[in-house]
Structures are given as structure tokens and as C-alpha cells.
Amino acid sequence: MAANSGPAERRHRCFAVICGLWTAATVVAIAASGTDVVFFVIFAAWFVPVIIWIAIPLWAAKLSVSELRAGDYRRAVNWAFIPAFAVGAVLQGGAAGTALRFALERPRYDAVIQDMAAGNCASDELRRRHNVDIDNIDCRPPFVVIFLWDGFITMWRGVVFDGSDEITKPDDKRSLEWRGSAAAEQLKCAGITHYLGDHYYAVGSAGCP
């Protein structure tokens, strides 16, 4: 038994390193995509990485149960962290990714709003100056700006700054002035996914029916 403890311990340490790399890769994927980790399962091109991604926490769960049965509760808890983190990533990956991306890009969004308040409302110039993708803009105070993250045909998602917060109201409850802008027309069939604070909203749209 003592002869096997050395190789077994080395295998455990090697897998612990793999789990560490897995955790780091998951965090990077969430931050880079701003969507649920489940997003990757949808595309066949990600089949092999997804299988690997699923296999690692499953194996860690098996090790956790083995250590629990052996009475090594500290190791059981350590291994249990990996499947618990995987479940959290699947359930809350979208919210975490959106929050991380917004936190990184917010200084540029705030700079756009400051420029608009100073009277600079040329969207092309704002795009170049602040390196942001502005899809639509209403320069009438209190301002509406759609910062596009990505999209496909009629589907899109991004961040909306709405100084009046009328985006939170049903369309028939919004003011005529707000509904009269091109930005409002684009937001007519969009839905809020997360409130980001200070008049910022994460928004997604599958297009109008």
C-alpha cells in the first residue's frame, strides 16, 4: 500500500494542476464571452472542448466521493470545489461575464456620455475617439446610447445607457419624445437582461416579430 501511495499522490497533484488550469480557462471564457458557459455547447465546433470541460468536474466529483468514503474530509471538500464551480459557471456565467465586461468597458462608455453632455454627438467621432461600437444614439438630454457587443442578422446584444430610465417601462407607457428617437425604435423589441447601475442596462434582442 505504501508503494502505491507515491504514484497516487503524484496523480492527484497532476490532476490538481489540471483543475487549476480548467478553473482559469473557465473564468477567461466567461469574461471574454459575457454569456453563459452553456453558450459553447450550442456550437458543434466546440464539441471536444466542451466534453473535456464537462469531464474534469465529473472526475473531480468522483475523487471527492472517494476521499469522503476514505475519511479524508479536507481533500473531499477541496475536490468538491471543482464541480461546484462548474455548476455556478453554468447557472451564473452570463451574469458574471456581463458584469466583468461592463466593468472593463465602462470608463469608455462614461467618456462617451461626458462628450455628449459637452455637445459632441457625432457618433462616428465618438466611436473613433473612445474605441466603442455605438449602434444608435439619441443626443437629446438625458441621452440614450446603444453600445453594441455583438449580433447576427436581427439578433443583437449590448449595453444601453438611458438617462431617463424609460427603457424599464412598457412601450405604451414611455413618453412620446422618448419613443420618437431612432434608438427607441431599435429598443422596441429588446429586453433587459441585467441592470448594471447608474442608468446602464444589459440588453438583448431577437428582433421584432
Q: What is the mean pLDDT of residues 47-56?
A: 76
Closest residue by Cα to residue 148 from 164, 163, 139, 137: 137
Question: pLDDT digit string (tens) for 92-135?
Answer: 667 777 888 888 889 999 999 998 888 888 878 888 888 888 88
Strand partners, 160: 146, 201
* Helix runs in 118-162, H state only: 123-130
- Gap between the Cα atoms of 128 and 144, Å rounded: 19
Closest residue by Cα to residue 109 from 197, 1, 18, 192: 197
Cβ neighbours of 17 (radius 10 Å): 9
Q: What is the mean pLDDT of residues 44-59?
A: 73
Question: pLDDT digit string (tens) for 177-193?
Answer: 888 777 777 787 777 87
CB 185 within 8 A of CB 139: no
CB-based contacts of 2, cutoff 8 Å, min separation 6? none
49 or 134, greater pLDDT: 134
DSSP 8-state class, residue 41: G
Phi/psi of residue 114, nearest 5 degrees: -65, -40
pLDDT band at 196 (very low <50, low <70, confident <90, very high): confident
Pairing of strands 155-162, 144-152: antiparallel
Q: What is the mean pLDDT of the chain?
A: 78
Residue 35 pLDDT greater than 70, yes or no: no
Give the pLDDT confidence score for residue 5 in this predicted structure: 56
Residue 4 pLDDT greater than 60, yes or no: no
Question: pLDDT digit string (tens) for 137-167?
Answer: 888 888 888 898 877 777 788 899 988 888 8
Pairing of strands 155-162, 134-138: unpaired
